[in-house]
Structure 1
């Protein structure tokens, strides 16, 4: 006898009443910024900052404005940056602020672009820098470093005074209001709360007058009560783990909704003793009476010689969304923009076993596989994160006041952030490839909000492996009083003529709308069903730029995943504009696109002042279509062949006995191999916007790239291409050529490389599979 399948279980959660947020017990705020126990406010409005790390001293000043504009176009509103002491004062008493060290110019440029700034002033910053950023002369002083030893505080006081002079008049609290809103003191100092308080006092005495003061809270850090806001980290993998470690044990916590903020593993390889506390408690014993803030959500992951994580774009985006669903009130990424380590005048700044660290890192490569690469590439996770950041811009004020409510474990990772009768549902079914999550069938949620129970979706759906999303639950969207939907809100344009709201469909889950407060006769573009006071609407078209449902004066557009990743929002010719562009771009008064090699279409709402597409490709119901002619050029290069195929000497070293990278002497013993370049791209006048970017696809162990005799890039192979901006090296290449020295991958190597790409050959492997030179050109559309 056949029995019917059991009804899929409904996953239930009831949201308790939410009290109004109270002020946090912190000595912070001012200049329009305040901190409650749950969130931050700005000008009296709830505010979720989005912050990205970009190291001005590890890039060329001529790039700063362009790269900061890229960050802002990605939805970042705050740029953070280490001020690396060892670069600014290699010789005691000679503090440099010129060229790439011009902190004042960088901060002013960020403000002109429209970004706030958080300066991370150390004095110890780490940042994968030798001595943690301490100058050699400071490191060698007979003092108790990173304590209140007066002999240590004296040079720190001078350093802070120098920073204060550079930032004079640039703080938000200054007359006229500058871009600097916050200061982070020290980094990863877990057992000196009194010293951290001293550092803040010294910084304020030096003229740093920020409304926000932060310190890293991970590692069970003990922080000075009330003096700093703890900020936390979350990485999808870690180069600091052992080479024999698979996916680290700390990984799952960052892909699970949780009230746990601290990750004790971050920085553990540099601590001499275990963490002291898992949480920071105030005097009354209440845990964390301040917002959940982050400064180091992994925008990617650096590689070390012994361990080379291969982080995927979805790893970054799913982790970030999980933190939002866990109650994050401040999304901060490290790194958001990749960098290149800068040698000082006297010595390099590389973190290495030779300089007292457990790990050997590259001499120059600090790309981090960040959302924006060191050469300026806007990578897939830049676009996926932009979706989340646009959501926070449009709906963050509503979300900020809503605490996270977590269900009992029920086979699906989900949470609700709600306040009163409305909220947002978060789901994450993604983990890195080392431990992926399985599909889940029969998924449906029932959420109790006050006197209302909301079931979404109406019929159970399957949850695909790798899915992660946010759904509105009875949210005011546009002019719809309450909308529940199986699609993720991205952004909205509000005007006197009506509202435009853009949502992203979830692959494999049909779009379903539960609309309250709009009569069925005022809804078009969907199949309708009336259920009590709800109108159930299902769009007539598949998700895409032309999938439109109109509900009263509100137009809803449901994009497919590719179009959602291609959605941009910014000022174009003085008007807030939505654009669908599947390439790289930023805003500079217009919409500056990186021109493709062939013609491409940009969609815009409102229309641009460009010619419309021909009649055979008409404009859609919302977005106009405009053709952008191709102009960038890609030159394939002849892949070099290596006469020598040698593996690096096997050594171990450092405080943890880990595998060591080949030395300068090892590389010098290799024969250099020429990488021939065509003459035209180097000789032509590229103009102010042009770039020459070299991309090399290769397999091996460790590689160094030289312009003439000077090393300009290096990489430990992890399965990723080498990307190098050659724009500033044209003269050196023209006179001395471009050369490669590289070691082969060794069979049976003890180096950790992701199993998805790890070679399984029986002999050494050293191959350049492809190389090309991209001549990058841009055009501003308006």
Structure 2
């Protein structure tokens, strides 16, 4: 594949004028057995390029450990893109936002209490350099300069919005640029920012691009005023949006988005659809926003995209394809057919394993004088169970100002209340029985903040806990519950309603792989797995009501469903549906 270069106001590829018509497709949000299908559909839409972030936090889960397998097999994804005749825009961060847990920054960075993320802090830069040292040898053979599909590489991500308060932003961005170049990245570099942030986020020697969802003519003019020479490009054309728990499902009419795309292409600009195919925040990987109120993102990253969460074409696919055909060649082929779906109702989850009786199988308790944060425990995702004893009987006020993010409170194993960061709740009134009681606080990391200054988002109990104004010191244990391996759980027949969090298990038969949606109507809050694959979180507050199950997760014959219900359900069964339910919509 030829290398991309910038020639005045144009991109050129193999000495021919070239316009980038790209779409966002994050390999880590799609089952790897479905990568080729999604890439092929990108080509059918008329795209010549796909864009992907690289999630540092998953590729380097610990300072001394890297992963490049399964859903993180970046080179396999790049190979498939090349085979499908697509170029790639690579966005390695280190920060990616993406409504992704912590914006892609590893949680272990926050074990350093003084670290300054996204800055020239030597501790942060040393970690970034180590990441680049491990990542770039995988990437270099795929650069366009070496015959690979990677056209260009992004420096950081929307730093202008963050850099408004950063004193060392220029030094930080300069370090990243040098780090990429010194390690062999010789294709064009680019930055992306919203129009008002272009000056703060730009880097000498890197092409500035702009992000927006509407106002193409106006925003491209802002880019041209900032950068008098160079190709015009919108790196994130927001053709949809993401959802948060407790909100509505956000949609954008296809005709409106298509008209904006047409205006951009008519202006001669290159474009990247954000997103072409959103995919799913599987497991515990969703991020959150905190603009004075913490708001976690839902499991689905459908994003109201041209391809929905199951890879089926939406109204935007047809509308965008018609627009692109006015400006560039589009393959002559029918619209893709929807995938095969499974509909199976009334699957009984008739076995149960109470969480509190399985603790030793899931994590080891760490004693201490105070509760330890997830980062201090070396934990990325999941839950922490904090335990101590309250000795004085009678009514008490429990004060826990550092709940990150949702705490369920138990006395002698019985639930007595919930404290939510999102609701700014810190205090709970409870009564300690004669003789005292065991206090347990189960804290869920609902997703580290992925945008703004609040990305320094440590999890668990991040501050002191007091009773009637007196700090609770000594006698604590902190038990990490990452829930990354449920294989040791022992289930019993669920003959009566249980109290407290529990794993519920059931089985079903399937003829073979098929996409489906796990419907948890009647359940309250928790997580779900199918055949050991962690689908993500569910929550009755919505808007999302069903979890996407990728077809490759199912197998012919027997299949297993495990649901961790944190509160209660009166139903005891679940359904597999052949259509999504992302909740009531908001345009």
Give the whole-Å Cα distance in 2 for the aligned partners of 1:709 and 1:257. Answer: 45
Which of 130, 147, 155 aligns to 1:185? It is: 155
Deviation at 1:370, TM superposition (A): 2.4
**What is the aligned partner in structure 2 of residue 119 from structure 1?**
90
Higher helix share: 2
- Once the two structures are superposed, residues 304-357 of structure 1 have per-residue CA deviations (whole angstroms, 9 ceiling, x without a partner) of 1243342044266336436416736111122221222245xxxx4332479998
1:23-422 aligned at under 5 Å gives the runs 31-37=3-9, 39-141=10-112, 142-174=114-146, 177-190=147-160, 191=163, 192-221=169-198, 222-224=200-202, 226-235=204-213, 254=214, 256=215, 258-261=217-220, 288-314=228-254, 317-318=257-258, 320-321=260-261, 323-324=263-264, 327=267, 329-343=269-283, 348-352=284-288, 358-362=294-298, 364-394=299-329
Change (3 A) 1:354 1:729: farther
Deviation at 1:47, TM superposition (A): 2.9
Give the whole-Å Cα distance in 1 for the aligned partners of 2:183 and 2:507. Answer: 53
User: SS of the counterpart of 1:392?
Assistant: coil
Give the whole-Å Cα distance in 2 for the aligned partners of 1:185 and 1:691. Answer: 39
Change (3 A) 1:378 1:325: closer
Give the whole-Å Cα distance in 1 for the aligned partners of 2:39 and 2:304. Answer: 17
Larger C-alpha radius of gyration, 1 or 2?
1
Deviation at 1:127, TM superposition (A): 1.7
Given that residues 300 and 371 in structure 1 are in contact (C-alpha distance below 8 angstroms), is that contact kept between their aligned partners in structure 2? no
- Once the two structures are superposed, residues 635-657 of structure 1 have per-residue CA deviations (whole angstroms, 9 ceiling, x without a partner) of 4635999xxxxxx9886535x95
**What is the aligned partner in structure 1 of residue 345 from structure 2?**
637
User: SS of the counterpart of 1:295?
Assistant: strand
Give the whole-Å Cα distance in 1 for the aligned partners of 2:424 and 2:223. Answer: 31
Change (3 A) 1:167 1:769: closer
Deviation at 1:218, TM superposition (A): 4.5
Change (3 A) 1:639 1:234: farther
Give the whole-Å Cα distance in 1 for the aligned partners of 2:45 and 2:547. Answer: 21
User: SS of the counterpart of 1:724?
Assistant: strand
Deviation at 1:97, TM superposition (A): 1.4
1:511-530 aligned at under 5 Å gives the runs none
Deviation at 1:184, TM superposition (A): 0.7
User: SS of the counterpart of 2:326?
Assistant: helix
User: SS of the counterpart of 1:158?
Assistant: helix
Q: Which has the higher contact order (CA 8 A, sep 6+)?
A: 2
1:393-472 aligned at under 5 Å gives the runs 393-394=328-329
**What is the aligned partner in structure 1 of residue 352 from structure 2?**
none
- Once the two structures are superposed, residues 554-573 of structure 1 have per-residue CA deviations (whole angstroms, 9 ceiling, x without a partner) of xxxxxxxxxxxxxxx53xxx
Change (3 A) 1:356 1:130: farther
User: SS of the counterpart of 1:195?
Assistant: helix
Give the whole-Å Cα distance in 1 for the aligned partners of 2:267 and 2:567. Answer: 46
User: SS of the counterpart of 1:307?
Assistant: coil
TM-score when normalising by structure 1: 0.48
User: SS of the counterpart of 1:232?
Assistant: strand
Give the whole-Å Cα distance in 1 for the aligned partners of 2:565 and 2:501. Answer: 6
**What is the aligned partner in structure 2 of residue 694 from structure 1?**
517
Give the whole-Å Cα distance in 2 for the aligned partners of 1:70 and 1:373. Answer: 12
Deviation at 1:187, TM superposition (A): 1.2
Deviation at 1:739, TM superposition (A): 5.8
1:722 lines up with 2:490 in the alignment? no
User: SS of the counterpart of 1:33?
Assistant: strand
Deviation at 1:261, TM superposition (A): 4.7
- Number of residues paired by the alignment? 435
**What is the aligned partner in structure 1 of residue 421 from structure 2?**
653
- Once the two structures are superposed, residues 585-607 of structure 1 have per-residue CA deviations (whole angstroms, 9 ceiling, x without a partner) of 7xxxxxxxx6xxxxxxxxxxxxx
Structure 2 unaligned residues grouped into runs of 5+: 164-168, 350-407, 409-416, 427-441, 447-497, 580-587
Given that residues 638 and 675 in structure 1 are in contact (C-alpha distance below 8 angstroms), is that contact kept between their aligned partners in structure 2? no
- Once the two structures are superposed, residues 649-702 of structure 1 have per-residue CA deviations (whole angstroms, 9 ceiling, x without a partner) of 886535x9599xx9769999478899985x3xx1x3x5xxx5332375979986
User: SS of the counterpart of 2:328?
Assistant: helix
Given that residues 342 and 514 in structure 2 are in contact (C-alpha distance below 8 angstroms), is that contact kept between their aligned partners in structure 1? no
**What is the aligned partner in structure 2 of residue 707 from structure 1?**
530
Give the whole-Å Cα distance in 1 for the aligned partners of 2:445 and 2:8. Answer: 56
- Once the two structures are superposed, residues 715-762 of structure 1 have per-residue CA deviations (whole angstroms, 9 ceiling, x without a partner) of 567667736234344369935447696999xxxxxxxxxxxxxxxxxx
**What is the aligned partner in structure 2 of residue 420 from structure 1?**
none
Change (3 A) 1:355 1:158: farther
